[in-house]
Amino acid sequence: MAAGPGFYTYEMTTSLSTARVAVIMRTFERPVLLARAIASVQNQTLTDWVLVIVNNGGDPRAVDSIVKIAAQSSTQTSQQILVLHLDECVNPGAASNRGLAQCDSDYFVLHDDDDTWSPDFLKVMVNTLDSQKTAAAGVASSARVLETQRGNRLWPIHEALQAVEDGQLTFTSLIAGQLLPSGAVLLRRSLTRDVGAFDESIPMLDDWEFLVRIAEQYSLVAVHETLMRHHVRSVRSEEENVHRAPASVELELATRDLIVDRWLHVTMPNGLNKGQLAITAAGARQAGESVRSMENWRIRVEELERVVRDLQLSIAGDNPSQSIAHQIVHVIEQRRLWRRIVRVLLNPAHGLRAIKRRIAA
């Protein structure tokens, strides 16, 4: 049933799997990552979930083999894993819609096949939305993990916290281009049905576009615990596993332009043009970022100026406190030098290495 340009709502069939949470996992030819992602779902302390794996045109045998192994795990009692093999690769929004059509649930979440959750993700997020009935979605803080993949081996090389703030979850912030990792967002299914399904006509950003539609009508709630890990392959990974960054960036910009172009034909209930709002908000966001960046530079320049001023005063000797400070620094440096000499005498090998490092530097 068409709900607007590019949106489709799938009718529910009678033999649906039901659970509190539907986890939709789209995958394409990444068996090792898929196995880890499934294990992360199986590891959840809340067990009332159904996992729908949408094999988006990849080799069905590889996916079936992974699911067969995962399904052998007996540590979860109420787990349910459904696999939907698509004959050919479709846009991610279409894959999500088809996955959602396989099951009924109170909540749903898009879990990328390379991301992972903390064991309490579903429990905390479901509790949050259970207790905040007006919120259409909950968004958890996440960590961005940069990892290297060679063959089947994966290892992390950097991890950074991406705390979610309440201000990021407003309609204005989202329409301005605020992206959230889809696996960190649990959505209330009953409310989201009103806004239609994922846009099947766009090659990416379907989850962002969907969230913007939700935020237009409903509120989103931030969960400040770090409950999700958003994994990205490093450039040191084998080529086929690397996130194709340049192509993704170009495609992302083109897709965003396409979406905003469409919004230029949409007038919101408050009379504002959605596309114009998106452009204005994005401009304001960029300006805000520039100001923040300038502010950081200004602070740095001021700090530098202060250091130079102090140094000048100290050299001039017209400030007794600076002069004392200067002497203290001198004494500390002398002591440090003596410590180094003693260390070299005690352990010549370390000393030699330190000298080599200095020369190299």
Residue ranges binding other proteins (CB under 8 A): 31-32, 35-36, 38-40, 42-43, 65-66, 69-75, 77, 116-117, 124, 127, 143, 145, 147, 151-156, 158-159, 161, 224-226, 229, 343, 346-347, 349-350, 353
Q: Cα(359)–Cα(361) distance, rounded to whole angstroms?
A: 5
What residue spans of 72-138 are helical by DSSP H? 92-100, 121-131
Q: How far is the CB of 355 from other proteins (least distance, A)?
A: 14
Q: How far is the CB of 36 from other proteins (least distance, A)?
A: 5
Q: Cα(316)–Cα(202) distance, rounded to whole angstroms?
A: 67
Q: How far is the CB of 34 from other proteins (least distance, A)?
A: 9
Say which amino acid occupies 174: L
Q: How far is the CB of 65 from other proteins (least distance, A)?
A: 7
**Strand, helix or coil for residue 327:** helix
Q: Cα(221)–Cα(45) distance, rounded to whole angstroms?
A: 21
Residue 271, phi-psi category: left (phi > 0), alpha (psi -120 to 50), beta (remainder):
left
Q: How far is the CB of 37 from other proteins (least distance, A)?
A: 9
Q: Which is nearer to other proteins, 327 or 347 (CB)?
A: 347
Chain-centre distance for alpha carbon 222: 14
**Strand, helix or coil for residue 332:** helix
Q: Under a CB-based contact definition with an 8 Å cutoff, are residues 235 and 140 in contact?
A: no
Q: Which is nearer to other proteins, 33 or 205 (CB)?
A: 33
Q: Which is nearer to other proteins, 101 or 135 (CB)?
A: 135
Q: Which is nearer to other proteins, 2 or 349 (CB)?
A: 349
Q: How far is the CB of 125 from other proteins (least distance, A)?
A: 11
The DSSP bridge pattern shows strands 49-56 and 81-86 to be parallel
Q: Which is nearer to other proteins, 124 or 136 (CB)?
A: 124
Q: Which is nearer to other proteins, 119 or 317 (CB)?
A: 119
